[in-house]
Amino acid sequence: MELDRTDFRILSLLQDNGKCSYSEIARNIHVSEGTVRGRIKKMLSHDVFEFIIHTNPNKIGYHVQAIIGLEAKVGYHDEIASQLQPYRAVRFIGAFSGKHDLIIQAYFRNNEELVTFVDQQLSEIEGIISVDVNVELKQYKDTFSYVD
Amino acid sequence: MELDRTDFRILSLLQDNGKCSYSEIARNIHVSEGTVRGRIKKMLSHDVFEFIIHTNPNKIGYHVQAIIGLEAKVGYHDEIASQLQPYRAVRFIGAFSGKHDLIIQAYFRNNEELVTFVDQQLSEIEGIISVDVNVELKQYKDTFSYVD
DNA sequence: TATGAAAGTTGCTCCTT
DNA sequence: AAGGAGCAACTTTCATA
């Protein structure tokens, strides 16, 4: 799907405020409200973006965030990923080139929950060679606005 | 701020669909539309969550995602973070305990842009001892729904 | 919690390319 | 055809009581 300048202008406004109305966007970029609606509908159907909310983990009781690098046996990536998938705590799973084969990002209520996850859940998964846990001490930036 | 069951139910519905209307939420959890609106207003004012859109980086031309671990000289964390902050490409910056002092997540249009970022931008920042670049090969999960 | 005016959304048709 | 504008019925929002 090809995105033109109008599409990008729409995305740009929405990323600043996901509650921005069609007509508000229309006024801003000087097209009709129907056009905005049509473009958004099309982009949504092509999975260009989605309307979501970003919940502050700390405010809902998840005080420990970790980025965990995993070394995996060759051929085990998909299997490990699919076993990690169901965990609510795990918000991101990716396969990478570099020091770590898989990197996951996860939220926990406290340190104990993190330890339990590593020692019990992770250790039970076959194919994991090593686990490199990094616990977040301070967050400097966490944005979702990367449309120009 | 204390969140009760109603607040969590609201968050739960919104995280599945950020465009869910007040009245639709109200019908679902059997409270009045005004109540839903009031709760949301209160939560927004307390930064419990925000309405955003999540754009699929690939669909807008960002085909290379990297997680970069940085080793930093003692006392340089804040300074390095504040220098990285302005970069559009950099969507996440955090200080961590573990192998890496700082971990960043960034999007690039192509490999060349990544190389330029590491070789030119990163190398100019004082206090960075080492850089560990991990390039994403495959994404298994990337969710923002971690409210029960 | 209820009400009603104002604003927003939706599906339709018509027009232009 | 495809996309944008305009219209009218309907729904949602939000201040006020």
- Report the candidate in A115, A76, A84 with the shortest Cα–Cα distance to residue B143: A84
Distance B94 CA to D11 C1' (A): 43
Is the whole-model pTM more than 0.85? yes
Statement: residue A148 has pLDDT above 80: no
Domains and CATH numbers, chain A: 5-45 (1.10.10.10), 57-135 (3.30.70.920)
Phi–psi pair at A108, nearest 5 degrees: -135, 155
- Report the candidate in B82, B124, B126 with the shortest Cα–Cα distance to residue B104: B82
Nucleotide nearest to A39 (CA to C1'): D3
Test B56 with A47 for CB contact under 8 angstroms.
yes
Among all protein residues, pick the one whose CA is nearest to the C1' atom of D5. A32
Q: Is the CB of A35 under 7 A from strand D?
A: yes
pLDDT at A2: 87
Statement: residue A141 has pLDDT above 80: yes
Task: Output the average pLDDT for chain A.
Answer: 95
Nucleotide nearest to A35 (CA to C1'): D4
Test B56 with A48 for CB contact under 8 angstroms.
yes
Statement: residue A79 has pLDDT above 90: yes
What stretches in chain B show pLDDT beneath 70? none
Helices (H) and strands (E) in chain B, counts: 6, 5
Q: How many CB pairs under 8 A join A and B?
A: 205
Q: What tens digit of pLDDT does each residue of A53-75 get?
A: 999 999 999 999 999 999 999 99
